[in-house]
């Protein structure tokens, strides 16, 4: 495994750990709207970091999945929970993909 791949996996692992730490705080927040806004800011930040650390193809994929996807539901906390679970799932999938296939080139859009 190349150093670049190891660094990519460490980066993704850090994002997973961070999301697991903030997840209960977001889901227990008194103000659901504020929690959703804070989580959206976190997603935007991670998408930008993914572009810097892993390449534009990965950034585009997460941007489409994370920033352009909305969960419709009656309960904002359920929507937020679904959104968090989706992001965790994507990070785990991305980690597994990089571990098995290696880090794709900067200009390539990684396969899904």
Dihedral angle over CA of 51, 112, 9, 69, nearest 10: 60
Domain coverage including residue 59: 3-101
Asked whether the predicted pLDDT for residue 108 surpasses 60, the reply is no
| 109: in domain | no
pTM of this prediction? 0.82
Split into its structural domains, the chain has a count of 1
61-92 pLDDT, tens digit per residue, is: 999 999 987 766 678 888 888 899 999 999 99
Work out the average pLDDT over 26-32.
86
| 48: in domain | yes
| 106: in domain | no
Query: pLDDT-based confidence at 110, cuts 50/70/90?
Result: low
| 8: in domain | yes
- Burial class of residue 23 (count of CB atoms within 10 Å of its CB; 0-12, 13-18, 19+): middle
């Amino acid at each position: 495994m190349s150093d670049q791949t190891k660094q990519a996996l460490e980066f993704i692992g850090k994002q997973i750990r961070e999301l697991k730490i903030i997840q209960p705080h977001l889901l227990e927040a008194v103000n659901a709207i504020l929690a959703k806004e804070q989580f959206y800011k976190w997603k935007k930040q991670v998408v930008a970091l993914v572009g810097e650390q892993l390449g534009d193809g990965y950034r585009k994929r997460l941007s489409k999945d994370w920033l352009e996807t909305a969960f419709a539901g009656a309960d904002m906390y359920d929507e937020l929970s679904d959104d968090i679970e989706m992001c965790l799932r994507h990070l785990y999938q991305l980690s597994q993909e990089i571990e098995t296939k290696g880090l794709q080139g900067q200009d390539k859009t990684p396969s899904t």
